[in-house]
């Protein structure tokens, strides 16, 4: 990952298409993110500003966001000062990882108002700040910084905006070859250690603004063509050619947005220049925004989802552990219950030998008439009971064990059903998107796993249709996928027609998948099976069994848990999920 000053420089150039755009709506889908819906040059665009401590970024996005019912205070403030406004400029101070969005708007009195949104992309110190450019005072920030947190600057309403500390490095643009080589020669002469590749990488990062270790490593690699290092005195001159080529391309607005996955480690890197030193598969993008969307999109959403469902994961995992322990105890009870006939035999042997027993005896040895060899058996007695009462005690044990056998079998079936249901929910949480979480939480509240604390939320309309992911196969046929039990129930029991084809992983928790057509080819069936395998607990496995049958052969038993169905007349395919093929299928939310 390398969101350096050079990336921000290229991004600022790309976002000039937003200058002159009108801000139609401001949204705040999470505590770290702001989405500006803008109208620019006849197009509707969404500009994402994120101060996420792990994935801070700015770029145009096509992603859909789920917004809270009540907008946070910072969002309300941005709406007041920015909605209906015009973006007058998007600027980067120097080559810092900072963007300024200058916005002109008329306030409620009709007076002209100027505001600046400052986006600071600085890891866990990232921030989005609204300030008055005339006075320099901060209106508010998405993250507050108090004197207790930082002695250098304060980010609080009413305080004066102070930019992050400058690094006092040289701008790489417009440098002459003589100046460049002289600077690096000075560094080499002052060095206490032999000049290695790492040394020259650090020298570039330390001297020139906007350079990250990733870009510096690429320049050093290009300078030596992937070979050995020359003498320290020759290296500055060799570095000049790739340095000049990169800076000239960036000045001309010809950045190359790429994502490279390193073959040896599986790590992914993105940059605004070709990364020839990283050996692996390269993806090229037509814009910086498309590159950042591809790199960060899934990561940021999965991170947000993981935070929001952490309590549900914990709850369901604990419930599953309780049921497994319950099963173990029931197994022990079952073993005891299976010996019920032994208690009956002992009671009958005592009844036949009452004349040999005296009150106070602790045990008696009698002939076991039920044994073919009629071997003697020792029976334990309660010395406080009469001979007849001792016999009745064994008959009561027999009756209790026999009755408990039926109850234990029923309880074990219920525990197995509960574990299957919990496994299904855990799988759904693992593959849930932001839009799916609330439906799962509502289901858990209805099932009594989560207490309804009376929090305000989106009011569920009666018979409200859940939003479903609809993929389009290579043959143009719609394939619907349910991501949770609410969606599965609606898809299978209400939306699908009797002649549609239903798919599900065999004996593995997963999504319901429906091909919405009575006629389709092998390609569509194979792609639907891929989706069923991918959205299941076996997504990382190979040769996953996927059953398919017509909807008319699928039914929900009376009283069954949400999402549970039984089916027949099925056939089975064995599929190895391929995420590359799945990502190529067009998808829409319907």
- Looking at residue 436, what is its pLDDT? 81
Long-range contacts of 460-465 (CB under 8 A, 24+ apart): 465/490
Q: Where are the alpha helices (DSSP H) in 3-120?
A: 5-14, 73-82
169 C-beta neighbours (distance < 10 Å), count: 17
pTM, two decimal places? 0.69
- Which residues fall within 8 angstroms of residue 44, CB to CB, at 6 or more apart? 24, 37, 38
Listed residue (411, 403, 382) closest to 394, CA to CA: 382
Q: Taking the domains of the chain in order of start, what are their residue ranges?
A: 5-141, 177-290, 310-451, 469-589
Cα separations in angstroms, 212 against 3, 119, 216, 424: 8, 19, 6, 44
Kind and range of the H or E run holding 332: helix 288-338
Q: Which residues of 453-462 are buried (b: 16+ CB within 10 A; e: fewer)?
A: eeeeeeeeee
Strands (E), 510-557: 513-515, 544-550, 554-555
Q: What share of the chain is helix, strand, coil (3-state, %, to 5)?
A: 40, 20, 35
Three-class HEC string of 179-234: HHHHHHHHHHHHCCCCCCHHHHHHHHHHHECCCCHHHHHHHHHHHCCCCCCCCCCC
| Contact indicator for 8, 77 with CB cutoff of 8 Å | no
Per-residue pLDDT of the chain (590 residues; tens, 9 = 90+): 578 999 999 999 999 999 999 999 999 988 899 999 999 989 999 999 999 998 999 999 988 777 777 889 999 999 999 999 999 999 999 999 999 999 999 877 778 889 999 999 998 999 999 999 999 999 999 999 999 998 889 999 999 999 998 888 999 998 999 999 999 888 887 766 657 888 899 999 999 999 999 999 999 999 988 778 888 888 899 999 999 999 999 999 999 999 999 988 888 999 999 999 999 999 999 999 999 998 987 777 778 788 888 889 999 999 999 999 999 998 888 877 777 778 888 888 889 888 888 888 888 888 888 888 888 899 889 999 988 998 999 899 888 888 878 888 889 988 999 999 999 899 888 888 777 888 888 888 888 888 775 555 455 555 568 888 899 999 999 999 998 999 999 999 999 999 999 999 999 999 999 999 999 999 999 999 999 999 999 988 999 999 999 999 999 998 888 889 999 999 999 999 998 888 888 888 88
**Do residues 33 and 46 lie in contact, with contact meaning Cβ atoms separated by under 8 Å?**
no
pLDDT of residue 514: 96
Do the domains at 5-141 and 310-451 have one common CATH topology? no
Kindly write down the DSSP assignment for every residue of 134-160, as one continuous string: TT-BEEEESS-B-TTT-SS--BSTTSB
Task: Provide long-range contacts, Cβ within 8 A and 24+ apart, for 90-95.
Answer: 90/12, 90/15, 90/16, 90/18, 90/19, 91/12, 92/5, 92/8, 92/9, 92/12, 93/163, 94/5, 94/166, 94/171, 94/209, 94/210, 95/5, 95/6, 95/8, 95/9, 95/171, 95/172, 95/209, 95/210
Q: Domain 310-451: give its CATH architecture.
A: Orthogonal Bundle (1.10)
Dump the DSSP string for 96-118. Answer: SSEEEEEEEEE-TTS-EEEEEEE
pLDDT recorded at residue 442: 86
Cα–Cα distance, 84 to 430 (Å, whole number): 39
Instruction: Could you list the beta-strand ranges (E) of 440-509.
Output: 469-472, 478-481, 501-505
Q: How far is CA 575 from CA 505, 510, 521, 529, 546, in A?
A: 10, 14, 16, 7, 7
Which class is domain 5-141? mainly beta
Q: What is the pLDDT of residue 460?
A: 54
């Amino acid at each position: 990952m390398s969101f350096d000053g050079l990336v921000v420089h290229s991004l600022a150039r790309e976002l000039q298409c937003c200058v002159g755009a009108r801000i139609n709506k401001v949204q705040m889908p999470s505590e770290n993110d702001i989405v500006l819906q803008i109208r620019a040059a006849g197009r509707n665009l969404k500009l994402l500003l994120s101060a996420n401590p792990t994935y801070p970024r700015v770029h145009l996005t096509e992603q859909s966001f789920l917004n809270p019912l009540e907008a946070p205070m910072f969002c309300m403030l941005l709406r007041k000062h920015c909605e209906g406004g015009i973006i007058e400029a998007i600027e980067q101070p120097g080559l810092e990882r900072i963007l300024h969005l200058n916005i002109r708007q008329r306030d409620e009195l009709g007076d002209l108002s100027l505001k600046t949104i400052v986006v600071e992309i600085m890891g866990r110190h990232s921030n989005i700040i609204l300030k008055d450019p005339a006075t320099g005072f901060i209106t508010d920030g998405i993250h507050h910084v108090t004197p207790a947190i930082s002695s250098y600057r304060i980010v609080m309403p009413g305080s004066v905006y102070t930019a992050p500390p400058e690094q006092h490095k040289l701008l790489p643009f417009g440098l002459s070859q003589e100046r460049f080589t002289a600077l690096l020669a000075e560094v080499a002469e002052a060095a206490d250690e032999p000049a290695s590749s790492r040394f020259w990488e650090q020298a570039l990062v330390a001297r020139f603004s906007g350079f990250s270790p990733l870009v510096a490593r690429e320049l050093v690699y290009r300078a030596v063509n992937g070979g050995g290092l020359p003498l320290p005195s020759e290296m500055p001159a060799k570095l000049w050619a790739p340095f000049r080529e990169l800076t000239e391309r960036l000045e001309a607005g010809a950045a190359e947005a790429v994502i490279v996955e390193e073959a040896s480690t599986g790590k992914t890197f993105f940059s605004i220049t070709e990364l020839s030193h990283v050996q692996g598969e390269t993806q090229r993008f037509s814009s910086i925004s498309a590159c950042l969307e591809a790199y960060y999109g899934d990561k940021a959403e999965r991170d947000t989802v993981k935070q929001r469902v952490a309590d549900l994961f914990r709850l369901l995992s604990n419930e599953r552990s309780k049921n497994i322990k319950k099963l173990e105890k029931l197994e022990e009870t079952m073993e005891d219950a299976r010996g019920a006939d032994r208690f009956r035999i002992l009671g009958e042997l005592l009844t036949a030998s009452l004349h040999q027993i005296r009150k106070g005896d602790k045990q008696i040895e009698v002939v076991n008439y039920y044994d073919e060899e009629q071997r003697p058996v020792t029976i334990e007695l309660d010395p406080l009971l009469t001979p007849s009462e001792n016999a009745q005690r064994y008959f009561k044990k027999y009756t209790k064990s026999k009755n408990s056998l039926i109850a234990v079998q029923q309880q074990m079936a219920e525990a197995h059903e509960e574990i299957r249901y919990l496994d299904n929910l855990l799988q759904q949480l693992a593959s849930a998107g932001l839009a799916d979480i609330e439906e799962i939480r509502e289901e858990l509240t209805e099932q009594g796993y989560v207490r309804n604390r009376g929090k305000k939320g989106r009011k569920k309309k009666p018979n409200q249709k859940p939003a479903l992911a609809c993929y389009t196969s290579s043959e143009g046929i719609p394939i619907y996928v349910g991501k949770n039990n609410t969606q599965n129930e609606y898809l299978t029991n209400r939306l699908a027609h009797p002649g549609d084809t239903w798919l599900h992983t065999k004996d593995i928790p997963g999504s319901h998948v429906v091909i919405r057509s009575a006629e389709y080819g092998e390609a569509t069936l194979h792609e639907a099976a891929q989706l069923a395998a991918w959205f299941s607990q076996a997504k990382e496995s190979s040769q996953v069994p996927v059953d398919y049958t017509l909807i008319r052969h699928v039914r929900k038993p009376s009283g069954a848990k949400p999402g549970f169905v039984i089916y027949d007349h099925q056939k089975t395919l064995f599929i190895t999920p391929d995420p590359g093929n799945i990502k190529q299928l067009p998808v829409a939310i319907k």
